[in-house]
Structure 1
């Protein structure tokens, strides 16, 4: 696992965990709140209906009170009059009053006429509740409520109903009424639905905030990492440049030592051997041995000069980049047998010494790669100096680089690219359409006015 991944996990996992915990706690508490609130609402609605039912019963009692107490025309006549009054008393779409004797016989029911005259003491609702029996018991107990399931006249469906019954003791009647409570369930369901929507919105907001926080944290981490990478890259480039500078300085020092010291010593030794050869006279064996030593010494001198030139060509410092490239091409052609053509324009001091060295080393590395890998027969080096930019092209007619092209190339290509980028240039490596490899370098030139200033 990479450091970046660990950093992301350390940063983002707590956010995700806290978000899940907050969302879960909110969801749980909200559901508990829904249950409490819906029960409270349901109880308040039931209490309102209870009070409404009491008011209806009070209204009915007020309507029949005088007849019930005074019994004008006798009890039978008074009872018939009360039956008519109660039978005609309705409220709302499904509100009515009913009367049963204490043995369960119905004597008034304005909605279900088929019940009138029948004895319904053992009548049960679909849930097994003894409806009439329990209403009569509630009435005997001084008046009370009873919940049961009953047919709703307006819909013809069986719905829950809250009934209330009182006792007309003198006549042995149970007077009752009730309200259907299916609207309570609908209202409670609506409240639950509203709460559920609120919970979902709250949870969505929590996770949206978490997502935004994750995005912000990820962006900040990426920004910090990008900044650190840029800082590290800049420091690495500075270090690379310093290494190149130190390397060139050391090469120059060693080249100078070889050319000015070792080479001169070898030349002095050669003069001495030549004197020995001339003084040998008739000593044929000694002259032959001296000749062999001279050949060996000449080879050593040539090799020292070649090494010195490879380490740091004096032409680059003395005559400029164009001359150094021509010399490099001629030497490469002599050593490898590959034909080299050089078309190089002078930069007229519009390149720094470091930039000249970088370009020379790039061409030198290219020639080494051509000799090792390309199987080419011809190499072309072109150096063009424009108004603001220098262009360098090195191409061969060999087998070309692998396809697809490597993203970063090997160590040599990376070194070449870093050398060029140090001085604000770009390096591109590509395959030629007719075979072979082409390397293009573009590097900005120093302005003449600034250079003069």
Structure 2
């Protein structure tokens, strides 16, 4: 056996064996971690729902306490008023209250009125659970939870429900409510999928490292100097920057073509159809067809303008970053229904056009993520031009991120980071203490010549 082959085997075989061992251990440890984390996530969601139910029940008990304690117009009138109040109270898509007497007779049920007045003590769900008996036992125990399967109004079918019942001792009523928890399985599945993807990514990295090491052994390269690696990284970054530049140029060209060519052609066609409509006279069918064509053309013109604006907003080139962000915020608020508060300083010539475009794309991507994932009601954007640096903060009141950026953010987040780092800036993303996500961007500014601050609220 040639010496080179022996050397190759001595170098490669231990590396392959070590990689397989590391991969196997990583897979086993990650599988166990996935199970633990998914169970923890499920328990956190259930705990949140339990707290939500208890808070709602406490509010309702407070609202009916006066009727129960004082019975102002007599017991029968007070009970009738409480029944009416409980029938009208609802929360969420499927939240409501129900009442049973101690013998299992239903007294209040807003969603299934045919249950009222009948005794359901022996009622079982599809899994054989004695629903009313167990809820009554939970109420008699001083207020407790019980899981069972029940009709879900919004789904027109059965779903698992987390119920909570308390006893109104004075009247001998069991007051209960609950939330459906069939969505927990999908949320847990998403978390499991995220962890599994990370495990696969880790195993892929191990495999790639092994292959790289083998290739290095085949080419007899013992070491790679830091300068060579840095040179490769700089070339890769230059290539990435070039790709971004070409992309923005192409977007600008297509946007201009759509606005100046296609849009104008559509407007010209619309004028022609308006002329046909005006000259149709008494030809009702022709007038109706012309009106239909006009509506379609109006929709097409609006869509072309929207696409053109998304590709490259003309206000960014004409009026600058501040005005472009204000326009973007207004469009986002109109399309998503999420309120946007924005304060933006003008940067004038202190930022290059490419840096302004990068900041605009970062805000655009952040708003897209808010609309898709955050379930937020309000977003706050603040662009502040300082003496030497420009700071940008984007804050929402949504559910917040699960993982930090460096722990495996999506492609959009990585693109945001690369755009900012290209211009010497930094970007961080963090979860707020209570709820929501905060994105901070810092970017160096040029000389403070010819600067006017303009705040758009």
TM-score (norm 1): 0.50
Structure index of larger Rg: 1
